[in-house]
A and B are shown apart, each in its own frame.
Chain A
Amino acid sequence: MRKVAADPKGVDSGSHFMDGDHALAEGALAAGCRFFAGYPITPSTEVAERFAERCPHVGGLFIQMEDEIASIAALIGGAWGGQKVMTVTSGPGFSLMMENIGLAVMTETPMVICNVQRCGPSTGLPTLTAQQDMMQVRWGSQGDYRIIALSPDSPQECFDLAIEAFNLSETYRVPVFIMTDETVGHMHEKVVVPPAEQIEVLDRNWYTGPKEDYRPYDFTGNLPAPMVKAGDGYRFHTTGLTHDERGYPAGSVEVHKKLLDHLIGKIDNNVDKISKTEDSGLGDAEVVVISYGITSRIAAKAIADGRKAGIKVGAMRLITVWPLCENRIREIASKVKGIVVPEINMGQVVLEVERVVGGRCKVISVPHAGGAVHDPEVILDAIKEAVK
């Protein structure tokens, strides 16, 4: 895979005051994304608006499709057409995308999908924050598969993770999700966009060998096959059906197992390379708060108050939520009395944490029905409970 400096055209270097949504669009442009298909939905619309405004100046194309189903379908066509592609949505639109997320997974099509999460189910509290789609992003499309999901906690990280998301999607040929939320999406903060030459972007891993040897898929290793683009004479075929390495339908149980082992293995066997966390105070910790996105910033207040009260509490912020860094969590669990998991949902990621911890320590869920962030006091209470 070729590491290159960002195309300066897409990089608006300097110090900005902008919200998370705008920062996502800037990050995508810096990463070399030049094709965006989307459909408006609060609280994600500003990403599309920013891209639409910027793209004619940077040589990109924005199209507002007729719905979210069409938006993600267009990304699949766009990626095989040779572009880096992105869309953005929120709950209802995310639900509509599910079938074609499966097609992207199955055809190993790189793309970045941002979900600026709002409060459901259904139309719910459409303008208010939540982290309720964390399991949907993982399991929402039919069948067994793996994806990568990142969760930024600030506008700056929206920018940084957008670039990271593109690099991951090119490396693993998998849809990468930026699971942000209304609060981060609409929060204005300082965002520093570095000079283009300091931004490392990964070019697509282009196949360059002889035409007769080209295979769109490779199920043998822990990484996907290089890609070609339409028009280059390779005459690729791709399908959502179970297929062999030529991309041809192959309806056997054996081929299906090989394919699934590959789709799952390329993520599971690379967790250590993919997964990122931000840790603090783990050295002496008796309690650790595991959180992600905006909730980490609320938890930080509870943790500081806990430390003031003499509780040895540390933090692990999941920058990568999926795949979950299971080994690291297990390691922590064997050293502490308890783990606290606050999230703006009724307890989703905590289910996985509980499974991974497997009784090694207490796991306390701090749920929130959505529409607002936690009161730090509630998290502090859970910390106190965990240390008992």
Chain B
Amino acid sequence: MNAPMTDEERFRKENPMSEFLRMERMPHIWCPGCGIGTVVNSFAEALKKSDLDMDKVAVVSGIGCTGRVAGYMKFDSLHTTHGRAIPVATGLKLANPDMKVVVVSGDGDLTGIGGNHFIHAARRNMDITVICVNNFTYGMTGGQVTPTTPTKANASTTPYGNYEYPFSLPFLADACGATYVARWTSLHARNITNSISEALKHKGFSFIEVITPCTTLYARRNRLGDGLDALQYYHDDSEIVHGADTREVDIEFQSKIKMGTFVHREKPTYLEAVNTHYANVIGDEYQLYGKTTPEREAEKKAQEQANQGSK
């Protein structure tokens, strides 16, 4: 008779997301109650539901607790430098346009040190999906203030409370030209999944902000309780306002959180703009990496049909 499986064996074998995770790298480094795992789970769920070719998905992260996501997901993956996930993703996408490139990184990484790349990728409508785990803090380095930390919140480098004005990330993304913008909290796992599904289908720069607890640092320092208390707060004080004016979705310290799909519009992506422009100006001689624009489009259509057929 076989010995019964240990908890660990069962976890490795029966984890419903194991086909998307590098199980040999478990256990992960994240603290109990941290929201990053929820985001990974929702991301994996969205991939599971999608008709994408999983070999054509790449995950790129910067540095931070969230930056470790790339290393745990079983896809072509790059764990880069602090703030530089977006330009690495940009290079990957432009060098290999068949890839679906997803950036998963932290608030400090994407909007502090990497803010310049964020605004320009949005401006260009670069065809990548950016998922920002916004825990209002630099988790990895011990809870310092970030560009999203609400005014008055306490951080290790604002020990008397934060006196700066934070970014409202949906507003920033919208203003810079992002064509899909959504926000959820880590309580709203199913909504995150749905948004990621939409983002994966979307052509252009899609941005999803997920408000998550950093239980160990931000929550503790601000006496906000544990992971469950965070979820309670998200439950009690969040409100779905699809299509909200992004000028009105600021988050103040423990204030109401407006969430939903705020922006969903169509605009040619960076590569579509390049291809259309050169096809017009130069004609058939223009062949990006050896393919003319009509060839590329026909191929894409055939691929889409094949994917639909197999569903």
| Contact partner, A77, options B22, B25, B70, B95, Cβ 8 Å | B95
Contacts of A93 in B (CB 8 A): none
| Contact partner, A240, options B56, B81, B98, B116, Cβ 8 Å | B81
Kindly state whether residue B84 has any CB partner on chain A within 8 Å.
yes
Cα–Cα, bound, A230→B56 (Å): 7
A70 touches B25 (CB 8 A): no
- A65-B87, A66-B120 as given contacts; A81 in contact with B74, CB under 8 Å: no
Count chain B CB atoms within 10 A of each CB in A35, A57, A73 and give the residue with the most: A73
CB distance from B272 to the nearest CB of A (A): 13
Kindly state whether residue B171 has any CB partner on chain A within 8 Å.
no
Kindly state whether residue B60 has any CB partner on chain A within 8 Å.
yes
| Contact partner, A239, options B71, B92, B274, Cβ 8 Å | B71
Contacts of A61 in B (CB 8 A): 94-95, 274, 288-289
Q: Contact mask A328-346 → B, CB, 8 Å, 1/0? A: 0000000000000000000
B94 touches A74 (CB 8 A): yes
CB distance from A37 to the nearest CB of B (A): 6
Contacts of A66 in B (CB 8 A): 87, 116-117, 120
| Contact partner, A76, options B76, B88, B290, Cβ 8 Å | B88
Kindly state whether residue A125 has any CB partner on chain B within 8 Å.
no
A236 touches B76 (CB 8 A): yes
> Nearest A residue to B290 by beta-carbon distance?
A59
- A59-B287, A66-B120, A70-B87 as given contacts; A249 in contact with B71, CB under 8 Å: yes
Count chain A CB atoms within 10 A of each CB in B78, B86, B117 and give the residue with the most: B78
Segment from B135-143, B209-217, B278-286, B300-308 that makes contact with A: B278-286
Count chain B CB atoms within 10 A of each CB in A65, A85, A234 and give the residue with the most: A65
Kindly state whether residue A210 has any CB partner on chain B within 8 Å.
no
Contacts of B78 in A (CB 8 A): 76-77, 80, 107, 237-239
Q: Contact mask B30-62 → A, CB, 8 Å, 1/0? A: 000000000000000000000000011010100
- A61-B288, A99-B81, A236-B76 as given contacts; A73 in contact with B71, CB under 8 Å: no
- A59-B287, A67-B116 as given contacts; A73 in contact with B87, CB under 8 Å: yes
Contacts of B71 in A (CB 8 A): 237, 239, 248-249
Contacts of B159-211 to chain A: CB distance below 8 A: none
Number of chain A interface residues as a range = 35 or more
CB distance from B71 to the nearest CB of A (A): 6
A56 touches B286 (CB 8 A): yes
Contacts of A78 in B (CB 8 A): 91-92, 94-95
A238 touches B79 (CB 8 A): yes
Contacts of A376 in B (CB 8 A): none
CB distance from A52 to the nearest CB of B (A): 12
Cα–Cα, bound, A50→B286 (Å): 17
Count chain B CB atoms within 10 A of each CB in A34, A239, A248 and give the residue with the most: A239
A73 touches B88 (CB 8 A): yes
Count chain A CB atoms within 10 A of each CB in B55, B71, B84, B87 and give the residue with the most: B87
Kindly state whether residue B99 has any CB partner on chain A within 8 Å.
yes
- A78-B92, A82-B95, A231-B99 as given contacts; A100 in contact with B76, CB under 8 Å: no
CB distance from B303 to the nearest CB of A (A): 12
B80 touches A76 (CB 8 A): yes
B90 touches A77 (CB 8 A): yes
A35 touches B95 (CB 8 A): yes
B55 touches A233 (CB 8 A): yes
A74 touches B79 (CB 8 A): no
Cα–Cα, bound, A248→B98 (Å): 25
Cα–Cα, bound, A233→B54 (Å): 8
Kindly state whether residue A134 has any CB partner on chain B within 8 Å.
no
| Contact partner, B76, options A56, A85, A103, A231, Cβ 8 Å | A231
Kindly state whether residue A83 has any CB partner on chain B within 8 Å.
yes
- A56-B282, A66-B117 as given contacts; A100 in contact with B81, CB under 8 Å: yes
B77 touches A81 (CB 8 A): no
- A67-B116, A100-B81 as given contacts; A35 in contact with B58, CB under 8 Å: no
B286 touches A77 (CB 8 A): no
> Nearest B residue to A107 by beta-carbon distance?
B78
| Contact partner, B22, options A34, A74, A237, Cβ 8 Å | A237
> Nearest B residue to A102 by beta-carbon distance?
B81
> Nearest B residue to A103 by beta-carbon distance?
B81
A85 touches B91 (CB 8 A): yes
Cα–Cα, bound, A149→B190 (Å): 52
| Contact partner, B88, options A57, A74, A237, Cβ 8 Å | A74
Contacts of B74 in A (CB 8 A): 235
Contacts of A217-240 to chain B: CB distance below 8 A: 229-240
Kindly state whether residue A184 has any CB partner on chain B within 8 Å.
no
CB distance from A36 to the nearest CB of B (A): 10
Contacts of A26-80 to chain B: CB distance below 8 A: 34-35, 37, 56-57, 59-61, 63, 65-67, 69-71, 73-80
- A82-B96, A237-B22 as given contacts; A57 in contact with B90, CB under 8 Å: no
A77 touches B81 (CB 8 A): no
Contacts of A229 in B (CB 8 A): 96
Q: Which 10 pairs between the two chains have the least Cβ-Cβ distance? A: A77-B91, A81-B95, A74-B91, A77-B92, A81-B96, A73-B87, A70-B87, A239-B79, A78-B95, A78-B91
Task: List 18 A–B pairs whose Cβ atoms lie within 8 Å, in order of A's numbering.
Answer: A35-B91, A57-B285, A65-B87, A66-B87, A66-B116, A66-B117, A70-B84, A70-B116, A70-B117, A85-B95, A103-B80, A230-B76, A230-B99, A234-B76, A235-B76, A237-B76, A238-B77, A248-B22
- Other than the given A237-B78, A240-B79, 7 more pairs (CB < 8 A) read A60-B289, A73-B88, A74-B94, A80-B78, A235-B75, A237-B70, A237-B77
